[in-house]
Amino acid sequence: MLPVMKIFFTVLLLVAGLGLAAQPVVLSRKEVNAKGIGLKLEQDYKNPEDSQLETPYSIQKAFQEMYAQMLETDKLQDVTIWNTLLLNAEGKIDYLTFEILSQRFKLVNGKQQREPDNADSLAAIIKAKITPYLTGIKSRRTAGKKATLTAFVGFYPSAPKEQNAKKDSVVHGMEEALAVKDTLKVKTLALGRSMLTSVPQVIYRFPNLEELLLTDNDIENLDLDMSRLPKLRNLDVTRNILTEKSIRISRNRSLRLINLQMNMLTDIPAAARNCKKLESLWLGNNRLAGLNNASFKKLKSVKDLNFYKAGLAALPTGIRKMRRLEVLDLYYNKLGTLPRSITRLKRLTHLAVSYNELTALPARIDKMKRVTTIYAHHNHLSKLPARITRMKDLRVVDLGFNWLTTFPAELAAFTNLQELDLSANNFPDFPMQLLQIRKLDKLHLRGNPFLGADAEQKYSEQLSQLKKKNIEVFY
C-alpha cells in the first residue's frame, strides 16, 4: 500500500507544482530594474513586427475592476497604475509588471517625484492580492504568438460630467437600447465597448437603423439579417475578433461602408460580395496573408479600399477588377513594387502608398488620368516614371523621405500642382528646376543636405523667387 500512496502524493505534488508554475509572475517596475531583466523580457515578448497592439476594452475594464476591488480607491488621488502584460502563445499572462505614478509630478528636495508617497505600500498590496485575478485573463486577439499589451488604470478626482443634448435618433449602450420605446426614430445605435461576444438581437428593434457601431468588443461571429435592417448604411466592427469565415451578411443593397479594421482577417470576407452597393471597405490592421487574385471578385461597386498596415509584401494583380475604385490606401505595408495591373484603375483619384519599400512607381502610371493625389513618402524612390508628366490633374504629390538625389525633371511640367513635398531626400544643392514650376501653393524642403545653417543666406535669391510666386516654402 505504501508504494501506491507514495506514487499518489508524488503525482499530487507534481500537479500542484505545474499549477504554481503556470501562475503569472508579478513584478513592480523597481524589481524589474533591480533584477536587470527588463530588456530580456522585452525581447522575449516582442510584438509581431514591433507593432503597438491595442489593448481590448474587456482587458482594460478587467484591470480597472480588479484594482477597484483590491485597493481603497476612495482614498487614492491622482494615481495611475501602468500595467504591462507579457503574454504567452495561449494569450495568457506569463508576467505582469506594474508601475505606480502620480498624474501630477511634484518637486521634492529639488528633484521631480514621479510616484505618490504611498507607492511602496500600494505595490505591496498589489503583489499580495493580484495573482488570482490574473489567471482568468486571456487575450484571444494575440493567441498563437507571444505579445505585449499595456493597461492603464487611473484614479483621479471626478470631474463634473457635461450634459450633452440627447438625440432621439441616437442610442448609446445596451441598457438604453433595451429601454427605448420609440424605436422607429433611431438612426444610430452605438454599442461600442459593451462587452459583447456576439451581435445582440436587440439591434432588430430598430428597423430604420442607418448606422450600427459595434467597436471594441470581443465579437467572434457576425451574423446580420439585412432584411430586418433595410436602411443600414454604415457598419463599424473595428477592434473585434472576427475572421473572414465568421462574417455572414445577407444579400442587401443598403450597406455603403463596412469597417473591419483591427480584427483577425486574412482575406476579404465573402460576405462583402452580398453588399451590392458597397462603396467603402476598410480592412486595415489585419494580416491579409490570404489575399489573392480571386479576393477582388464581385466587388465592382467599391470606391474606397483600405489595406492600411495589412502585412502585404505583394499586391495581387487581381486589384484591376475593382474598376470603380477611387481611393486606395496601402500605407504601412512591405511592398517593393506595385503590379502593372494597378494602372487599370482608371477612376482612381487618391493613391496612398507611403511607408513601404517601393523603388519605383508604375511606368504607365499615366493611365490613371484622374489621380489628383499621390502619397508616396517613406519609400526608396530615386526617380519618377517619365510618363507621370501626362497626369495633368495632379494637385498633391508627397515624395518626402525617399532616396532622391537629383530633382525629378518631370515635376517641373505640372501646371496644376498645388502642394509638393520633397522633405528629407538627398539633394546636395538647391534644385533650380523648382523655379520652373508655374503654379504651387506649398513646397516642403526640410531635412535635405543643402539646407545647412546658412541656407537662408546662401539661397536667398531662389527662396525670394519662390515667395514672389506666393509659394509657402517650408525649409
C-alpha pair distances (Å), 398 with each of 290, 361, 366, 386, 391: 30, 13, 17, 17, 15
Domain assignment present for 299: yes
In this predicted structure, what is the pLDDT of residue 20? 46
Is 294 among the domain residues? yes
Three-class DSSP category at 51: coil
C-alpha cell at 62: 478587467
Q: Would you state the pLDDT for residue 7?
A: 47
Q: Which CATH number is 281's domain given?
A: 3.80.10.10
Given this model, what pLDDT does residue 342 score?
A: 98
Looking at the fold, whether 200 and 227 belong to one and the same domain comes out as: yes
One domain, residues 243 and 302: no
Give the total number of structural domains in the chain.
3
- Domain boundary, last residue among 217, 232, 255: 255
Range of the domain at 201: 171-255
Assess whether 70 and 149 both reside in one domain: yes
Q: Which of 209, 99, 86, 91 is nearest to 140 (CA)?
A: 91
What is Dmax (Cα atoms) for the chain? 102
CA distances (Å), origin 112, targets 81, 104, 288, 304 = 18, 10, 46, 49
Shared-domain flag, residues 370 and 404:
yes
Question: Which of these three, 120, 155, 190, is where a domain ends?
Answer: 155
152: helix, strand or coil: strand
> What pLDDT shows up at residue 161?
64
**Burial label, 455 (beta-carbon count in 10 A; 0-12, 13-18, 19+):** middle
Question: How far is it, in rounded angstroms, from Cα 101 to Cα 83?
Answer: 11
Whether residue 239 lies inside any domain: the answer is: yes
DSSP state of 346: T
pLDDT of residue 47: 87
Both 215 and 106 in one domain: the answer is: no
Residues 436 and 460 in one domain: yes
> In terms of domains, do 344 and 414 share one?
yes
Secondary structure class of 103 (helix, strand, coil): coil
Whose CA is closest to 397, among 405, 413, 406? 413
342 lies in some domain? yes
pLDDT of residue 113: 64
296 and 347 part of one domain: yes
Question: Model pTM?
Answer: 0.89
Based on the fold, state whether residues 122 and 192 are members of the same structural domain. no
Q: 90 and 197: one domain?
A: no
Position 225 scores a pLDDT of 98
Long-range contacts of 172-180 (CB under 8 A, 24+ apart): 174/200, 174/202, 177/202, 177/203, 177/205, 178/202, 180/205
- Specify the pLDDT at position 439: 84
Query: DSSP code of 158?
Result: P
- Cβ atoms of residues 190 and 172 within 8 Å: yes
Please identify, among 215, 238, 255, the residue that sits at the C-terminal boundary of a domain: 255
Q: Is residue 447 part of a domain?
A: yes
Give pLDDT tens digits along the chain (475 positions): 545 455 444 444 444 444 445 799 999 999 999 999 999 999 999 987 756 688 999 999 999 999 999 998 888 888 999 999 999 999 999 999 999 998 765 555 556 668 888 899 999 999 999 999 999 999 988 888 999 999 999 987 766 666 666 788 999 999 999 999 999 999 999 999 999 999 999 999 999 999 999 999 999 999 999 999 999 999 999 999 999 999 999 999 999 999 999 999 999 999 999 999 999 999 999 999 999 999 999 999 999 999 999 999 999 999 999 999 999 999 999 999 999 999 999 999 999 999 999 999 999 999 999 999 999 999 999 999 999 999 999 999 999 999 999 999 999 888 889 999 999 999 999 999 999 888 899 999 999 999 988 888 999 999 999 999 999 999 9
In a domain, 2, yes or no: no
Contact 94, 86 (CB under 8 A): yes
In-domain check, residue 10: no
Whether residue 123 sits in one domain with residue 35: yes
Evaluate whether residue 47 is within a structural domain.
yes
Mark whether 198 and 138 lie in a shared domain: no
3-class DSSP state for residue 123?
helix
Q: Are 214 and 196 in contact (CB under 8 A)?
A: yes
